[in-house]
Amino acid sequence: MPSKKTSPIWHPFTQHALFPEMTHIDRGEGAYLYTKDGKRLIDGISSWWVTTHGHCHPRIQKAVQDQIAKLDQVIFAGYTHDPAEAVAEGLLNMTPDGLDYVFFSDSGSTAVEVALKMALGYWHHVGSSRHKIIVMEHSYHGDTIGTMSVGERGVFNKPYDPLLFTVDSIPFPEKGSEQLTLDALEKALSADDETAALIVEPLVLGAGGMLMYPAWVLKEMHALCRKHGALFIADEVMTGWGRTGTPFACEQADVVPDIACYSKGITGGSLPLAVTLCHEKIFDAHYSEDRSKTFFHSSSYTANPVACAAAAENLRIWQDEPVQQRINFIADSHRAFLKSLDDDDRFENRRQTGTIVALDIKVKDEGYLSDIAPKLYRHFQENGILMRPLGNTVYILPPYCVTESDLNEMYDAIRSGADLV
């Protein structure tokens, strides 16, 4: 076993016994990252799904520089500022009617924690005992205690089982068996009047393996929640900001959630920020002269002005640059790539939603801990590409500035990577 300590930093989702040396990144530009020794890497996964328009986008950089020279930080309890107001207004213009209030936080996990607390607080304040949460099998919603509770139980959170609260689970809607999911949801909602909310990743389950399901299933799940009076929470932390082909995944099902969570691409990937949007009724349940009904949640850096300035500029980029055309180009390229694999039996479960393409390499030890994952990671790195396989599942989720040549390099690396089995 290698020496434990080459740096005092403990990296996320990293087994240091297998990866003792971290790749040292010096700078980024567009779809590329450059290492300390000058090697160029194509960022095939948008640096964990956050970078939308490219690294160091000049417009976002300028917005950050201008803002930090003016106001870097201010408490957000009892105070506000122009960047936050601009983000809130832009979000309400970009999302459908029915999402009426914007609550700021710092990450996808906290956005979901806020959503869960909003849902439970809503029912408590309207005098209902509803408290159960329904989740989907294989889901991932974050790494805090609440978000782990509503995520898939397994290798990610096994040591923390004693801290996690109980949820009801419905099966993932496998192709051809979608009705089983809907029947399970109907049964769970009909069992009693205690369900507070269903939380789902719309259309694509990210960390669960880039699992994909059709928009009509999302629409039906939403309709069942409406029928039984449960709240519908859409976790769009990963699926938002164009990843599924539209600005937000729920658009494809014509669904307006009661509560929606956005993060990752909200600043174009430049700075940490998150928001939880909710229907007016959620806000109204907490609106009272009774101070005990206050929504008790915050962090020190809530709605940080610099992060909000980046997000406000990102929203303007969506308005006046051809972002959708870039998304459509990537989606078309992915479709052609998958078609080229029709006769390649090394791959299975080939799938795509918008700018996300995923496929499984046939191995004996399927799953997140498949032995092929570290081999593939190194293979991609050696070929000048940053990609992190989810076990034997390989996926591409690129920045929207990616070129045809970049995509072809990634496609070729996936083909050659299958020879590592």
Which CATH number fits the domain that encloses residue 186?
Answer: 3.40.640.10
Contact (Cβ atoms closer than 8 angstroms) between residue 381 and residue 413: no
pTM: 0.96
Percent of the chain with pLDDT over 70: 99
Q: Are residues 73 and 191 in the same domain?
A: yes
pLDDT in tens, 62-99: 999 999 999 999 999 999 999 999 999 999 999 999 99
Q: Does the residue 17 lie in any domain?
A: no
Q: Are residues 67 and 201 in the same domain?
A: yes
Percent of the chain with pLDDT over 90: 92
Q: How confident is the model at residue 155 (pLDDT cuts 50, 70, 90)?
A: confident
Q: Are residues 295 and 338 in the same domain?
A: no
Q: Are residues 168 and 259 in the same domain?
A: yes
User: Which range of residues forms the domain containing residue 295?
Assistant: 61-320
Q: In 3D, which of 388, 415, 330 has the Cα closest to residue 44?
A: 388
Between the alpha carbon of residue 157 and those of residues 48, 107, 146, 215, 292, the distances in Å are 20, 19, 12, 29, 33
Stretch 325-351: mean pLDDT? 97
Whether 154 has a pLDDT exceeding 90, the answer reads no
Q: Does the residue 291 lie in any domain?
A: yes
Query: In the prediction, which pLDDT does 2 show?
Result: 62
Whether 5 has a pLDDT exceeding 80, the answer reads no
* Max intra-chain CA distance, the chain: 67
Cα 48 to its chain centre, rounded Å, is 9
Q: Are residues 329 and 196 in the same domain?
A: no
Query: In the prediction, which pLDDT does 389 show?
Result: 96
Whether 354 has a pLDDT exceeding 90, the answer reads yes
Q: Does the residue 218 lie in any domain?
A: yes
Stretch 297-323: mean pLDDT? 97
Q: Give the span between the Cα atoms of 98 and 94, in whole angstroms.
A: 12
Average pLDDT across the chain, whole number: 96
Query: In the prediction, which pLDDT does 20 show?
Result: 85
Of 283, 302, 320, the domain-final residue: 320
Whether 1 has a pLDDT exceeding 70, the answer reads no
Q: Are residues 40 and 80 in the same domain?
A: no
Q: Are residues 41 and 178 in the same domain?
A: no
Quickly count helices (H) and strands (E) in the chain: 12, 16
Total domain count, the chain: 2
Selected residue with higher pLDDT from 154 and 132: 132
Q: In 3D, which of 116, 121, 120, 129 has the Cα closest to residue 286?
A: 121
Whether 105 has a pLDDT exceeding 80, the answer reads yes
Q: Are residues 197 and 315 in the same domain?
A: yes
pLDDT in tens, 228-280: 999 999 999 999 999 999 999 999 999 999 999 999 999 999 999 999 999 99
Q: Are residues 258 and 329 in the same domain?
A: no
Residue type, 116: L
Q: Nearest 5°: phi and psi at 277?
A: -100, 145
Contact (Cβ atoms closer than 8 angstroms) between residue 341 and residue 361: no
For tokens 């020794």, name the residue: 37
Query: In the prediction, which pLDDT does 3 show?
Result: 65
Whether 319 has a pLDDT exceeding 80, the answer reads yes
Stretch 108-121: mean pLDDT? 98
Q: How confident is the model at residue 285 (pLDDT cuts 50, 70, 90)?
A: very high
DSSP bridge pairs for 231:
197
Sequence length of the chain is 421
